[in-house]
Amino acid sequence: MSINRRTFLGAAGLSALAIAGKSSLVVLAQGGQREGATGIQSVTRWAMVIDPRKCQKDQGCTDCIAACDKAHNVPHFTDRAHEVKWIWKEPFGNAFPNQESLYTAEAFKSTPILVFCNHCDKPPCVRVCPTKATWKREDGVVMMDWHRCIGCKYCIVACPYGSRSFNFFDPRPRIKELNPDFPTRTIGVVEKCNFCEERLAKGEQPACVVGCPEKALVFGNLEDPKSEVRQLLRTRFAIRRKPELGTNPEIYYLV
Amino acid sequence: MRDRGIIIAGLIFFIGLITIPVWYNAAAGTLAKGPDLKLPVEEKNCVAPVEYMRTFHMDLLVNWRDQVVRQNIRTFKAFDGKTYTMGLSQTCMKCHTSKADFCDRCHDYAGVKPYCWDCHIDPKLVPLTSTSPLGERKG
């Protein structure tokens, strides 16, 4: 059968469009569902809800920070340029730069905001890691693999929240109390809060949550409609750090 | 040959000289011994048979590392059916309590320096505080 070139090209183009059009319709149809890291709807999505007002009760209390540092052998450097921190306190204006007003500094003067890795839904640090030493797990935790980290610090550049720290020096001499149940890190790797994934594996709550005497930190599964975090988010208004960046952080601060 | 005697005598002397490292050490009993390990007293079985562990414990540990860190799989079923938690400090060093008396014996003999203990804590080091002289690990 004779077919001329123009007709052939027209038919080929239409078939290509039909095939491509079908798969793009399928993807668009999934738009309403929440996607986990792999695109599959996940049954667990860990998140934390923090009530900064409860943190006010004990002025100068650092129990959560101490609990985290002890559980994970976080070293203590006095020079701020070299410090390594997994969880720390920031003034309100530093934690929420776009939500300041003239009066927030006064209101939050004695209420520090606890900040740590937000375990974002769309983490920029994961996107830029050249070795996949950091990745997003299906249950929402942004993990670190210190065996694979090459210390390029690209993730530190990418993180908009400053959650990550680099080990400029050997951390071991600077660890106050060595916890034998968790490894230390070496010089030259980046570390951050890991949502206590080793404790989650055993069904325990993160160290900071357990360490807080006022129960200001609440940890739970967002996919479970009956969890405490969902209850809190249903009944109270919560803000997140820098939401306009599109990283979708999963640490909520009740106001 | 004209100087047959001298030549043969010289050859025998030379061969004896060149094989001194072998027969002298054999005679003096200082031939290189293998590494001398101190085995755990209570447990008789490791997570895998001895021959397998001797050859492949590095691969086993690397597999454990990938499974725990990257796949969040933490339990290991040993060859004898027992389950263990995968972890160097948590499981291996619970029985092989002394790195200096066990791990380092073979590693020093073979001249290898695995970097596991740069991060994973040797349980013997635990009472350290920030004021103690750190840097050299024991063994």
- Show which of residues 147-186 on chain A sit within 8 Å of chain B, judged by CB atoms: 147, 172-181, 183-186
Total beta-carbon pairs less than 8 A apart between chain A and chain B: 44
End-to-end Cα distance, chain B: 61
Calpha distance A131→A150 (Å, rounded): 8
Q: pTM, whole model, 2 decimals?
A: 0.77
Segment A176-188 shows an average pLDDT of 92
HEC string of B68-132?
HHHHCCCEEECCCCCEEECCHHHHHHHHCCCHHHHHHHHHHHHCCCCCHHHHCCCHHHCCCCCCC
Measured in residues, chain A has a length of: 255
A30 — pLDDT class (breaks 50, 70, 90): low
Calpha distance A100→A75 (Å, rounded): 32
**Which of B69, B71, B125 is the best residue to mutate to test the A interface, defined by the most A CB atoms within 10 Å of its own CB?**
B69
Contact A183 B130 (CB under 8 A): no
Mean of the per-residue pLDDT values of chain B: 84
Contact B72 A172 (CB under 8 A): no
pLDDT tens digits, B2-51: 899 999 999 999 999 999 988 888 888 777 777 888 888 888 888 899 89
Calpha distance A87→A151 (Å, rounded): 20
Which letter does DSSP use for residue A231 in this model?
H
Contact residues on chain A for B90, CB-CB shorter than 8 A: 181
Instruction: Using the structure block, give the residue that is written with the tokens 């059009």.
Output: A21
Q: What is the pLDDT of residue B135?
A: 38
> A52, A114 in Cβ contact below 8 A?
yes
For residue A146, give the nearest of A136, A159, A132 by alpha carbon. Answer: A132
Smallest Cβ distance to A185: which of B119, B126, B128? Answer: B119
Find the angle CA(A88)-CA(B68)-CA(A132) to the nearest 5 degrees.
Answer: 65
Q: Where are the domains of chain A?
A: 1-32, 46-254
B132 — pLDDT class (breaks 50, 70, 90): very low
> Does residue B103 fall inside a structural domain?
yes
Smallest Cβ distance to A178: which of B72, B125, B135? Answer: B125
Segment B75-85 shows an average pLDDT of 88
- Report the number of distinct structural domains present in chain B: 1
pLDDT tens digits, A192-229: 999 999 999 999 999 999 999 989 999 999 999 999 99
B121: exposed, middle or buried (Cβ count in 10 Å: 0-12, 13-18, 19+): buried
Q: What is the pLDDT of residue A195?
A: 95
> B117, B137 in Cβ contact below 8 A?
yes
Q: What is the pLDDT of residue A135?
A: 95
Q: What is the pLDDT of residue A200?
A: 93
Smallest Cβ distance to B121: which of A143, A180, A186? Answer: A180
A142: exposed, middle or buried (Cβ count in 10 Å: 0-12, 13-18, 19+): buried
For residue B46, give the nearest of B61, B33, B29 by alpha carbon. Answer: B61
A143 touches chain B (CB under 8 A): yes
Q: What is the pLDDT of residue B41?
A: 83
Residue of chain B whose Cα is closest to the Cα of A198? B72
Contact B134 A176 (CB under 8 A): no
pLDDT tens digits, A141-162: 999 999 999 999 999 999 999 9
Segment A124-131 shows an average pLDDT of 96
Q: How many CA atoms lie within 13 A of A181 on its CB side?
A: 9
B88 — pLDDT class (breaks 50, 70, 90): confident
Which letter does DSSP use for residue A73 in this model?
T
**Maximum pairwise Cα distance, chain A:** 88
CATH number for the domain running over A46-254: 3.30.70.20
> Does residue B26 fall inside a structural domain?
no
Tell me: pLDDT of B60 over 70. Answer: yes
> Does residue B60 fall inside a structural domain?
yes
Question: How many angstroms separate the CA of residue A242 from the nearest CA in chain B?
Answer: 29
Tokens of B84: 């263990």
Neighbouring residues of B33: CB distance < 8 A, sequence distance ≥ 6: none
A42 touches chain B (CB under 8 A): no
Q: What is the pLDDT of residue B56?
A: 93
Boundaries of domain holding B78: 50-122
Question: B83 φ, ψ to 5°?
Answer: -105, 140
> Does residue B132 fall inside a structural domain?
no
Contact residues on chain B for A172, CB-CB shorter than 8 A: 134
Tokens of B61: 């540990």
Residue of chain B whose Cα is closest to the Cα of A134? B70
Residue of chain B whose Cα is closest to the Cα of A145? B69
Tokens of A40: 């599959």
> Does residue B54 fall inside a structural domain?
yes
Of chain A, the percentage scoring pLDDT greater than 70 comes to 93
Segment A168-174 shows an average pLDDT of 94
For residue A171, give the nearest of A151, A194, A141 by alpha carbon. Answer: A151
- Calculate the alpha carbon distances from A154 to A115, A141, B14, B33, B112 in Å: 21, 19, 65, 49, 32
Q: What is the pLDDT of residue A73?
A: 94
Write down the ipTM of this complex: 0.76
Calpha distance A95→A78 (Å, rounded): 22
Q: What is the pLDDT of residue B6?
A: 95
Segment A96-103 shows an average pLDDT of 86
Contact A176 B130 (CB under 8 A): yes
> Does residue B109 fall inside a structural domain?
yes
> Does residue B44 fall inside a structural domain?
no
Which letter does DSSP use for residue B32 in this model?
P
Question: A115 φ, ψ to 5°?
Answer: -125, 150
Segment A165-183 shows an average pLDDT of 92
Calpha distance B8→B125 (Å, rounded): 63
A7 touches chain B (CB under 8 A): no
DSSP conformation letters of A179-215: -TTS----TT-EE---TTHHHHTTTPPPHHHHH-TT-
Tell me: pLDDT of A170 over 90. Answer: yes
